[in-house]
Amino acid sequence: MPIRFVTSNEGKADEAREYLDDVERVDYDYTEVQGDLATVAAAGAREAFEALGGVDPVLVDDAGLFVRALDGFPGPYSSFVEDTLGVDRVWRLCEAEDDRRAHFRTVLAYAHRPDDAGDGGDGEETGESDNAVQVETFEGSVPGTIVAPRGDGGFGYDPIFEHDGTTMAEMSTAEKNAVSHRGRALAKFADWLAGEPADTKGAK
Ligand SMILES: O=P(O)(O)OP(=O)(O)OP(=O)(O)OC[C@H]1O[C@@H](n2cnc3c(O)ncnc32)[C@H](O)[C@@H]1O
């Protein structure tokens, strides 16, 4: 059974394919509720699961860039800020700061039916009855520094996010996954799936 990764972002799906055998990217515009990344991802996964038929499992990823000197900005507004200000202007906002430390964080939320459920991931399980939808969450975070844009790979804020001297846009997908927020969350998710019944879905 494929995992339907509900995202408009091809880059996220490519990163997930390094951990999971059968990922199908699906466009579905779930409601972005107010709240932290886990709240947004869990509500989005639950909504998308029902809207897409309520049978096959659904994965949602909500990520954000948190800049220490900007009190965590853009954080949950990272997507809006990339679309409006753009990545170069986020760099320029940080340029004058002495402390340009930041971190990237993501929460994966996986919505499924309990008869293919194991123990929770990080891991919220919110089933109310035996066949209610359950949502597991898996979090990953990576520290870094905001720098002038470098590199052509990756997506989003990757050109201005440096980790250990290399921006994420200068890394291959595998190199980014080895250190990134999403790679860490995907590794936890793949481990959790590997403990699942074999026919449910495909961890590598
Ligand atoms: O919500 P979906 O459709 O999955 O796609 P999105 O790209 O809007 O995803 P997010 O809201 O999770 O992302 C918030 C912002 O952070 C950016 N972003 C997410 N993950 C990133 C990563 O690994 N590297 C760089 N930027 C990233 C992304 O481009 C957005 O501008």
pLDDT at position 203: 42
pLDDT tens by residue, 83-120: 999 999 999 999 999 999 999 999 999 999 976 544 44
Contact 163, 100 (CB under 8 A): no
CATH of the domain at 172: 3.90.950.10
Model confidence pLDDT, tens digit, residues 23-49: 999 999 999 899 999 999 999 999 999
Residue 156: inside a domain: yes
Q: Which of 8, 65, 175 to mutate to test the pocket of ligand 1 (most atoms within 8 A of CB)?
A: 65
- pLDDT computed for residue 122 by the predictor: 58
- Count: domains in the chain: 1
Question: Does residue 200 form part of some domain?
Answer: no
Where do the DSSP E strands lie in the chain? 3-6, 23-26, 58-67, 101-112, 134-146, 161-163, 166-167
Calculate how far, in angstroms, residue 177's C-alpha sits from the geometric centre of ligand 1.
15
122-161 residue pLDDT tens: 544 444 455 789 999 999 999 999 999 999 999 999 999 9
- 14, 36, 56, 62: which one is catalytic? 62
Does the residue 201 lie in any domain? no
pLDDT per residue as tens digits for the range 160-174: 999 999 999 999 999
The pTM for the full model equals 0.90
Chain centroid, CA 58 distance in Å: 13
Domain containing 165 equals 3-193
Report the mean per-residue pLDDT for the chain. 90
Could you write out the DSSP letters of every residue in 11-39? HHHHHHHTTBS-EEEE-------SS-HHH
In a domain, 62, yes or no: yes
Residue 198 lies in a domain: no
Within a domain: 65: yes
Q: 97 alpha carbon to ligand 1 midpoint, in Å?
A: 24
Residue 150 lies in a domain: yes
Q: Is 185 inside a domain boundary?
A: yes
Decide if 91 contacts 160 (C-beta within 8 A).
Answer: yes
Q: Which atom of ligand 1 is nearest to the CA of 32?
A: 1
Distance (Å) from CA 6 to ligand 1 centroid: 12
> Could you give the ipTM of this predicted complex?
0.98
Res 153: pLDDT? 97
What pLDDT is attached to residue 63?
98
14 is catalytic: no
Which residues have C-beta atoms less than 6 Å from ligand 1?
Answer: 7-9, 12, 61-64, 78-79, 82, 154-158, 168, 180, 182
